[in-house]
Structures are given as C-alpha cells and as structure tokens.
Structure 1
Amino acid sequence: MRCAQCGAEIVRSARGRPRRYCGRACQARAYRARRDGTRRARPVERGPRVPLERPALVRAAVELADAEGLDAVSMRALAARVDAAATALYRHVSGKDDLVTAMVELVLAEYQPSPAAGWRALVEHEARQEWALYQRHPWVLGVLASTRPPLGRPVLAAVDRFLAALPGLPARTAMSVYLLVSGYVQGMAATAVGGAEAARESGVGDRQWWAAQRGKLAGALGSGWYPWLAELADDPVDLRAWFDFGLQRVLDGIGVFLSTGSPALGPTAQ
C-alpha cells in the first residue's frame, strides 16, 4: 500500500484501519490541497529505478522541485520518484539540508562565463545569469534570498566572480554593490515566480487576469483619475521588459558611484 500524497510505501499495521498517508506532513499537504481547491492530492509519479548514487538522487530532487516546488521534496517523495526505499537514500545524503545544498550546487553549475570584459558587462552578465536561474528553477530563489544561504563552493564562486568584476574596491564596498544588484534581481524574480505560480494554480495567464480586472475596475478606469492604470490594463508590460529597464538603471547608478573616484567603504561591521 502506498501513501495517497507522496506515493511512498506504507507499512501496514495489524490493527486499525489502513492508513492513507505515510505521516502527518503528507496528510496536512493533502488537506491543504483539498481546502484550497488548487491541486488534488495525488501520488508522486514513480520514475524508473536509477542507480542509488548521490548525483542521480540530486538530479531527481531538482526535477521534483522544478515540477512541484521545494516543499514537495522530502526523502519519502524522492524515494518514490527513484523507486527506492527511503532509508537507502540516507547512505548518500544525510538529510534534507544536505540534499538542498547539493541541489543548489548542481543548478549553479549551469552558470556560463561571460565573453565580455569591463565591470559593467561582467556585472550585467552575472545579474542576467541569476535572473535566468530563477526562471528555470523558481524554488532556488527562496534558498538563496536569505542571510543564511548554503555556502558551498558554487555559491562562493558566484559571489567571487561578481566581486572580481569590481577590482580596487574594498571588500565591504564591493559586497554592498553585489547585494544591491542581487537584491534587485531577487525582488523582480519574486514577482515573476509569484505570478507564474498563480497562473499555474489558477490556469489563468497574466493577460486573461488583466482582462478580468477591467470589468471590476470599470469605474476607476472611466474616472480619468488613474491614466497609468488605463494604459497598463490596455497593454500589460512584459515583466522581462521591466527587469531590463530596472537593471540598466541600477548599472547606471553603480557607474556614477564608481566615477566619483573615492567610493565609500560601505556599511561598517556591527
């Protein structure tokens, strides 16, 4: 017998009614899905049996997170996906924290080196690489947008490449510039990821959503008080275009800051 939520095998008890779920976490996820009416609880698709090796398990976990979100990644769900016993996975990963760190390191390996030179081209390249990463793997945004990200070698290498594009700056100043750019990318990515999740769960795309709002906002649109709202309702701007515009303005500001010739030392340590 298998869990109705994650598909993991359930050890049948000799007493009482048969269990539908392997644990309280799966039972809670199934309840929330029924309550919200957005997704039916369903078993995780069982994939073909793969060799129980760490790289294969990490790739399978990334595929599961890409499809269902990071909350769907558990040792039981991953075991069901690779058609193995959950206990066998612990010979290759110590737990979910170890697994998530390995997942982040795997997707960060997708970064490509910049063919350009000069601080602006290098910084823009790194920003666009980060933006593209969140489009391919939305779950990684919640992991990296934190004061405590997994500090494996790929994460450190990504920061180091950025800081190397700003030679001559004190480390604290260069890190401030990095946080400025990465914070902008992550903020815009949060908007994109949120919109994509809403569209996936509701089945309504952005243009259809805006079309539906026109009826609700007929009074405001006809009042003439909000001309910007009328313009957006007629032709919603592509979020990618907004991202491009904002990134160029951030880079412009960094250029002004660097051109002063005496950049501040950045925030002092607390």
Structure 2
Amino acid sequence: MPCAQCGEPFRAAGQGRPRRYCGRACQARAYRARRDGDDRARRAATPSRSSRSRVFDRTTLVRTAIDIADAHGMAALSMRALAARMDVPATSLYRQVSSKNELIAAMIDTAFGDLPLSQPGAAEWRALLEREAHREWELYLRHPWLLEVLNTTRPPLAPEVLAATDRVFAALSGLGLDREAQLSVYLLVSGYVQGMASMVAASRRSARQTGISERDWWSTQRGKLTGLLDSGRYPWLSELAAARPSATRADLDRWFEFGLHRLLDGVAVFVFAP
C-alpha cells in the first residue's frame, strides 16, 4: 500500500493497527505539516497582536468620530462603527471615553476649538452677540451634526458650549435686564441661528440620502412647475425661478446677515425703549 506522506509503496503489517506511513521519518513530516497548517489557520482566524493592541490617543478617536458624523450624520456614528473605522476592538475605545455621551461632548469641544473667537476680549453687547451668532452659524455649516446634539433641552454639557453661552449672558447682564429677559434674548438669537442652519443641514441630509443634489432636484421640479409658472398666476416666483437656479453659500450668508441684523434691531428696541 502507498505511504500517506511520500506515496511510496510499503508492506503492511499482518497484525495490529494498519500503518499509514512507510517509516517514522514520513510520519514525523506528516505531523509537522498538520501542525503548521493548523497554526496558519489559527493565525488567520485570530486578529494579530498589533491589531488587538494598536495604540491610539483620544484626539485620534474624537477626530475620527467627527469625520464619520460630518460625512454620514450622527445616525451613522456608533461605538461599533467607530471601532471598525479605526480597526480596533470596540472595547478599546472605552479606555479614552467612558461613554458615547462623553465622546459627543469631546466632539463638540473639538469642533468649537477649531473655530476660535475672531475678536477676543471685551465688546459692546450687540457686537458680541453678532460675533457669537456668526460663530455658531459657521459651526453648523461646517458640522451639521452639531444641530442634532445642541438643538435640544438636554444638550451635552461641553465646556465650549457653556463658555459661549456664558459670554452672551455676560454681554446682556449690563443692560438692566432681569434673568428671565436675558434668557429670552439668548433663546431668540440662538433659535434664529439654528433655524437658518437647519434648512442647510436638511438640504445636505437629503442630498446624502438620495444622491441627488439641491440643484438637480430643483431642475426636475422646474420641469413639473413649468405649466404653473407660465400661467401668469405667480409672476414673482416665475421671475425668481428664471433668475436663480439654486442658492449659493454667498446667498445663504447674505440672508443670514440680513435676518440677524433685523433681529438685533428688535432686541435693541426692546432693551432701550422708554
């Protein structure tokens, strides 16, 4: 019968357990081959030590989380998805943050820190409110997911958010307003900023989910609306559709600036009216 290792024929023993190999040398080689093959399979199935013990710092963790949220929204951010992006076990993330809430607070602080105050120092109340509103507007355009986590009655208590809020109240505190009136002014201005930014965020979210840009969507709608617009019943809208195919960033900033100035004009009347 042939040897199971080398294939050479050998004479089988007449008694006892049937032999598979012609000699001890072939038996040893077969054993080593099985051992090495099992080791290779085990190594392939088990993450390498370098992957399991990959070292990363908190900054890398937070920046990666921001990248995911910027590209896909907060709904796509989970500890498991973050671990997969970083190619590390999910449990290793908790060496840097104790929970997802702590991660989100760190993301907010990092986003705010990337856009420092353009005019640090003391300022007249209106200039300071304008500065804070512009900063908040820019942050929402850069990171639309901030709207999801800050536009709530229970936002993460991130130090940068608390500092921005405190600056507004500090600016209002010298105007003779009581605490309730100060809070109302703060909510009015912040609500305006978030409302304007939410339209931009919604547009980007729709484009991401459908794969259709704002310009392309309006192009298809214009075809459906041609009959209505050509009817003469909506002359202003017909003129607008012909002159402006879609809004640009410059348009958005101009509309935001117009509304903010009118809003603060109203606050000034409220504060200084006799």
Deviation at 1:105, TM superposition (A): 1.9
The answer for the alignment partner of 2:272 in structure 1 is 259
In 1, the alpha carbon distance for the partners of 2:64 and 2:98 equals: 16
Match status 1:231 vs 2:239? yes
Q: What is the TM-score with the length of structure 1 in the denominator?
A: 0.72
Which AA in structure 2 matches 1:56? Answer: T
Contact 1:211 1:233 in 2 (8 A): no
Q: Which residue number in structure 2 is paired with residue 242 of structure 1?
A: 255
Amino acid at match of 2:114: E
From 151, 164, 167, give the equivalent of 1:161: 167
Provide Cα deviations, 1:66-90, integer angstroms capped at 9, x if missing partner.
1221111111111122221111111
- The structure with the largest helix share of the pair is 2
Which among 125, 132, 138 is matched to residue 119 of structure 1? Answer: 125
Per-residue CA deviation, residues 118-174 of structure 1 (Å, 9 max, x unaligned), is 222211111110010011111111100001111232111010111122223222211
Q: 4+ residue runs of structure 1 moved beyond 6 angstroms?
A: none
Decide which of 126, 131, 141 is 1:135's aligned counterpart.
141
For 2:222 and 2:86, locate their aligned partners in 1 and report how far apart those are by CA, in whole Å. Answer: 47
Aligned partners of 2:72 and 2:208 also within 8 Å: no
Q: How does 1:71-110 map to 2 (within 5 A)?
A: 71-110=75-114
- The CA distance in 2 between the partners of 1:192 and 1:90, in whole Å, is 34
Match of 1:121, SS state, is helix
Match of 2:196 in 1: 188
User: Partner amino acid for 1:170?
Assistant: D
Report the AA paired with residue 215 of structure 1. G
Instruction: Describe the shift of the 1:58–1:258 C-alpha distance in structure 2 as closer, same or farther (beyond 3 A).
Output: same
Partner of 2:179: 171
TM-score (structure 2 length as normaliser): 0.71
Q: Equivalent residue of 1:204, what SS?
A: coil
The answer on whether the counterparts of 1:199 and 1:205 sit within 8 Å (CA) in structure 2 is yes
For residues 67 and 215 of structure 2, what CA distance do their matches in structure 1 show?
A: 28
Structure-1 residue corresponding to 2:216: 208
Given the superposition, is the C-alpha separation of residues 249 and 195 from structure 1 closer, same or farther in structure 2, using an over 3 Å criterion? same
The superposition leaves residues 18-76 of structure 1 with CA deviations (integer Å, 9 ceiling, x where unpaired) of: xxxxxxxxxxxxxxxxxxxxxxxxxxxxxxx9733223211211111112211111111
Which structure would you say has the larger Rg?
2
Aligned CA distance change for structure 1 residues 69 and 187 (closer, same or farther; 3 Å): same
Q: Give the C-alpha shift of residue 114 in structure 1.
A: 4.5
2 CA distance for matches of 1:195 and 1:249?
Answer: 25
Identity of aligned residues (%): 54
Matched AA of 2:253 = R
1:264 match: none
Answer whether contact 1:50 1:82 (CA < 8 A) is retained. Answer: no
* TM-aligned CA distance change 1:241 to 1:195, over 3 Å: same
- Alpha-carbon distance in 2 for matches of 1:204, 1:149: 31
Structure 2 CA distance, aligned partners of 1:84 and 1:220?
Answer: 56
CA contact (8 A) 1:108 1:154 kept: yes
Taking the TM superposition and a 5 Å limit, the aligned residue runs for 1:56-75 are 56-75=60-79
Q: Secondary structure at the match of 1:217?
A: helix
Q: Does 1:198 align with 2:206?
A: yes
Which residue matches 2:154?
A: 148
CA distance in 2, matches of 1:132, 1:148: 22
Q: Aligned pairs, how many?
A: 214
- Structure 1: any 5+ residue segments left out of the alignment? 1-48, 262-270
Would the alpha carbon gap of residues 118 and 130 (structure 1) be closer, same or farther in structure 2, given more than 3 Å must change? same
Aligned partner of 1:55: which letter?
Answer: T
